[in-house]
Amino acid sequence: MRVEALLLLGIGFFFGVVGLIYWFTSYEDAGFLMLMGTMLLGLVPGSYYFFWHRRMKDSRPEDRPTASIEEGAGVVSSFPHSSIWPFLFGLGAFTTLLAFAFGVWLFLPGVVVILAAVTGFTAESRRGGQV
């Protein structure tokens, strides 16, 4: 987590410096606030990762320069079978989103399809891929 933390902290500090330079050269509010928001998008997760990097007892294989590829592979188990439920979930979400453009009448069918897809996901995961 050390590399990720330093990368995000570097991004946060870079955009903080650029934001301050931008503010003092342009006095424009919107761009300054967007740059400050970008700074926070780097500093908040970067400081969280750095906090946990300091608390971890054992370093990850990604953090050790002497680690081999096999150490970071983890356990390769089974992969899920092909399923219709992700497609139906996306279709329901898209239909629900279309309700904002074409009318509220599309909201109910979209929610019904989303609930059916979530139910199918749950039943499929409980039965081992057989619905």
Higher pLDDT, residue 55 or 24: 24
- Distance from C-alpha of 122 to C-alpha of 131, rounded to nearest angstrom: 10
Structure confidence at residue 115 (pLDDT) = 97
Domain boundaries, the chain: 2-72, 85-126
Q: What would the mean pLDDT of 41-57 be, rounded to a whole number?
A: 91
User: Is residue 10 scored above 60 in pLDDT?
Assistant: yes
Each residue of 67-101: pLDDT tens digit?
Answer: 888 877 777 766 667 889 999 999 999 999 999 99
pLDDT tens track for 56-67: 877 777 777 888
pLDDT the model gives residue 78:
65
Mean pLDDT of the chain: 88
Residue-level pLDDT at 61: 78
Q: CA end-to-end span of the chain, whole Å? A: 40
pTM for the whole thing? 0.54
Q: Are 91 and 72 in contact (CB under 8 A)?
A: no
